[in-house]
Amino acid sequence: MFNIENSSIRKNLILIQLATAFMAVLICCVFFVYNDIRIYKETSVKTKQSIAEIVGMSTAPALGFLDRDAAKQMLLKLKSNPTILNAVILDKEGKEFARYNKAGEEAFSFPATGAQTVDQSDMGQRILVSYKIHDPDFLGTVILRAELSGFTESVLNYVKIAAFILVVSLVAAFLISTFLQRDITNRLLAFVAKTQEVSGTNDFSIRLPTTGKDEISTLSAAFNNMLGQIEKMQGVLKQNNVQLERRVRQRTAELEAANKELERFVYVASHDLQEPLRTITNYTGLIEKGYAAQLDEKGNRYLASTLKATARMRVLIKDLLELSRIGKDARFTQVDTGEILKETIGQLNAAIEESETNIIASPLPVLQGNEVELKLLFQNLISNAIKFKKKGAQPVIQISAEEKPTHYLFAFKDNGIGIEEQYKERIFIVFQRLHNKDEYAGTGIGLATCQKIVAMHKGEIWVESSPGAGSTFYFTIQKDLK
């Protein structure tokens, strides 16, 4: 089926015009052919009617004198007209008086004639005409049977002429419509080409010609107007983008600088604090050893508190130093995480044995990473799992890793106290602890350190947990660390 939407407008217009012209010419042709055939038939009938009248008038005397031979002789003259096939003269009682059959033509049984002067039966290409003879009284009737000579040929001729007119007018209509609609379709096609160019190149500076006052010019002007607005907006957007990019770059640089400065400060501070702290620890140790006996009970209590505080400060400074050190040595090598786990278990042996922790590990991968930092990561996660164990239950830690297309996914699952939903993000922030230091020892730096190590390996760390049901810490290590 022809689909107007999938065809070009030029073709559609030509087709519509051709269809209109075809229909108009066809209706005219049908009308003229029908009319000409009707006139042709009427003329033929009239001619035969005249012949019947002449025959009737000429045979009136023969009928009057009942001279059948004379009537027959008269009828024989019809031979000169080959379209007359049969003829009959009926007397006033309607009985056959004389008859004529064209040579080779069979005798035709004529119907009884009515009262009319002319009786015409249309039998397609054969017609019957009759004439009632009066002289002046009614004497009888002449009936002729004739063929419409050349009827088929003339109908064929009419059809041929109609077809010829149809073809000629269609060709003319095609030429005229092609010529006349060329200007419209050319402009429309140019419009379409320009819009395609705009959408293809995203060049909004393109403009359409707008000469004239017709709908296409109006459409082009509206389109140009729209393009102008888009171009303006694009300009503003571009400018904003450039400004935004510049600002983001500036802020990122500022942030990076501030971050570096802060890290340097933490590093230097924690490094430099170690020396005086060591002195304080040493001297308080010396005081405890040499002067404890001279101090009263209060003095001894103060001394014990000072010793405890300095010990805690030492741990804090060590952890801080560790945190600020991460990333300073960003060398990546082939690391066997199974080996790392073994070493970590070795290091934490005392705590593991004391707490009777059961560590179940599935095979762990060999991957690209920083060995020192990964060790620290494993250490922090395992020691937390031991530290935050549920009272009265044997701690079980399950460690596994899964290889994904772009990274490894590690899981450290424990059966400890668990973490409430609202703290799942907070615990990764430095110094954020959920418990009192007397309840669970610690500095609140461990998970911040873990996050920094994972980030250094282009990964992410998160926890899934519910209070009382244990926690699973997940982290990823990217395969491609370049």
Residues in contact with ligand ADP by CB under 6 A are 380, 384-385, 388, 414, 416-419, 427, 433-435, 442-448, 471
Per-residue CA distances from 480 to 4, 335, 407, 409 (Å): 55, 14, 8, 14
Closer residue to ligand ADP (CB): 198 or 386: 386
CA distance 190 to 437: 80
Helix (H, G, I), strand (E, B) or coil at 193: helix
Three state DSSP letters for 8-45: CHHHHHHHHHHHHHHHHHHHHHHHHHHHHHHHHHHHHH
Shortest separation between residue 198's beta carbon and ligand ADP, angstroms: 57
Contact of 74 with 58, CB cutoff 8 Å: yes
Nearest C-alpha neighbor of 368 from the set 458, 282, 446, 444: 458
User: Which residue, 338 or 418, is less far from ligand ADP as judged by CB?
Assistant: 418
Dihedral sign (CA 149, 150, 155, 161): negative
- Which residue's CB is nearer to ligand ADP, number 338 or number 444? 444
CB 464 to ligand ADP: min, Å: 11
Q: Which residue has the tokens 């689909």?
A: 3
Closest CA to 314 of 350, 284, 273: 273
- In the complex with ligand ADP, the residue whose CB is nearer, 98 or 419, is 419
Cβ burial of 48 (10 Å; 0-12, 13-18, 19+) is buried
Closest distance to ligand ADP from the beta carbon of 283 (Å): 28
Residue with Cβ nearer ligand ADP (29 or 447): 447
Report the nearest approach of ligand ADP to the CB of residue 365 (Å). Answer: 23
The two tokens of residue 346 are 């070795």
* Residue number with CB closer to ligand ADP (244 or 469): 469
How far apart CA 60 and CA 130 sit, in angstroms, is 14
Which of these, 206, 231, 209, lies nearest to 220 by C-alpha position?
209
Smallest gap from residue 328 Cβ to ligand ADP (A): 20
Give the residue with the Cβ less far from ligand ADP, 270 or 380.
380
Q: How far is the CB of 335 from ligand ADP (least distance, A)?
A: 22
Distance CA 254, CA 257 (A): 5
Q: Which lies closer to ligand ADP via its Cβ, residue 106 or residue 439?
A: 439
> In the complex, what is the shortest distance from the CB of residue 444 to ligand ADP, in angstroms, rounded to a whole number?
4
Minimum distance between the CB of residue 435 and ligand ADP, rounded to whole angstroms?
A: 5
C-alpha 114 chain-centroid distance: 80
